[in-house]
Amino acid sequence: MPALTNQVAIVTGASSGIGLATARLFAHEGAQVVAAARRSAELDDLVATIARAGGVAIRLTGDVREEAFAAALVATAVREFGGLDVAFNNAGALGEMGATADVSLAGWRDTLETNLTSAFLAAKHQIPAMTARGGGSIIFTSSFVGYTVGLPGMAAYAASKAGIIGLTQALAAELGPLKIRVNALLPGGTDTPMARDMNHTPESWAFVEHLHALKRIARPEEQAQSALYLASAMSSFTTGTALLADGGVSINRS
């Protein structure tokens, strides 16, 4: 039986990269998917692709920084599919990068709102719906940056992603009695548009590959498999975890 049969799942950041791959995989594994992002054309393509493969998905366009959008995603899942079982809160951004002394306050705040405050808002509205279903799985996308590795010029990003791990742990302790599991996925270098923006020359791409023990960059579909593990009963006794799917970048020194 597919791993998410009869489950309802929200996936944010679903228009590209890890979110796109995960929405497709969740649908393949039997979930009814509410796909969210800011770009409507890409979401339309995703929903059509899932439908052609025999899956079920709808889309909602909006900004994860807005509480009204977090509420609307949950309301859509409940109205269209009857409830909510899984939420992959994956949307995020690199934000303003550069020497910390040169980072603007506006850039700092926008990065934290996009990556961390959005995670809080998502969970705030997902918890009651999952409680009504008797449990569920909340997953956040964090990063090895700010957790096992420090990189220069990424203070806002690192702080926001480290904050997600603290949020994950607090929510896991709070929601365990309600049978809601909460975990964070920490991808390593993955072939996404964001990664291509950061490493836009063959030399920089090769450098990043070499940082990993596996000496390569992940495919988004590989990260989706880790998200599926956290979403499904395969991880039924796993909560409060920062799951590294980082190709060994955290331990590599060669």
Residue 2 lies in a domain: no
The tally of domains found in the chain comes to 1
157 is catalytic: yes
73 contact partners, CB below 8 Å, separation of at least 6: 10, 12, 34, 36, 60, 62, 122, 125
Q: What is the pLDDT of residues 220-233, one digit of tens each?
A: 999 999 999 999 99
pTM: 0.96
Residue 251 lies in a domain: no
Residue 49 lies in a domain: yes
Instruction: Give the CATH number for residue 232.
Output: 3.40.50.720
- The predicted structure's pLDDT at residue 197: 75
Residue 212 lies in a domain: yes
Catalytic pick from 69, 157, 184, 235? 157
- The predicted structure's pLDDT at residue 232: 98
Residue 3 lies in a domain: no
Domain coverage including residue 221? 8-245
Closest Cα to residue 129, out of 75, 171, 181? 75
Residue 201 lies in a domain: yes
Residue 254 lies in a domain: no
- The predicted structure's pLDDT at residue 200: 77
Integer CA distances (angstroms), 1 to 5, 27, 28, 231, in order: 7, 13, 11, 15
Cα–Cα dist 84/75, whole Å: 9
The tens place of each residue's pLDDT in the chain, 254 residues long, gives 899 999 999 999 999 999 999 999 999 999 999 999 999 999 999 999 999 999 999 999 999 999 999 999 999 999 999 999 999 999 999 999 999 999 999 999 999 999 999 999 999 999 999 999 999 999 999 999 999 999 999 999 999 999 999 999 999 999 999 999 999 999 999 988 877 777 778 888 898 899 999 999 999 999 999 999 999 999 999 999 999 999 999 999 98
